[in-house]
Amino acid sequence: MLIWARQIKAARCLVGWQQFELAVAAGVGIATIRRIERMTGAINAQFETVEKIRRALEGAGVQFIGEPSPGVCLRPK
């Protein structure tokens, strides 16, 4: 599934993480998180980087919703 930049920021806010917390959880640099969150549309980054971020957020309970209306939701634990 294609993940949009706005979904990353929305997901991070949904779980209550700061940018540095997502960076640590995903094992990427904070500059990477900042750069991705400034993007519009689809994420222009290495596939592996996006996957690390996606896995970290999904591990925190986020579910990514695809087309036609991309979004995020928090799964109840």
pLDDT on residue 37: 96
Distance of CA 32 to the CA centre of its chain: 11
Note the pTM of the prediction, 2 decimals.
Answer: 0.91
pLDDT of residue 75: 85
Instruction: Tell me the backbone φ, ψ of residue 20, rounded to 5 degrees.
Output: -65, -30
- What the block records as the tokens of 56 is 């970290």
> What pLDDT, on a 0 to 100 scale, did the predictor assign at position 47?
94
Cis status, amide bond into 68, omega within 30 of 0: yes
What per-residue confidence (pLDDT) applies to 49? 97
Q: How many CA atoms lie within 13 A of 17 on its CB side?
A: 23
Domain count, the chain: 1
Question: Which pLDDT does position 77 carry in this prediction?
Answer: 64
Give the domain extent around 30: 5-74
CATH number of the domain where residue 66 is located:
1.10.260.40
Low-confidence ranges of the chain (pLDDT < 70): 77
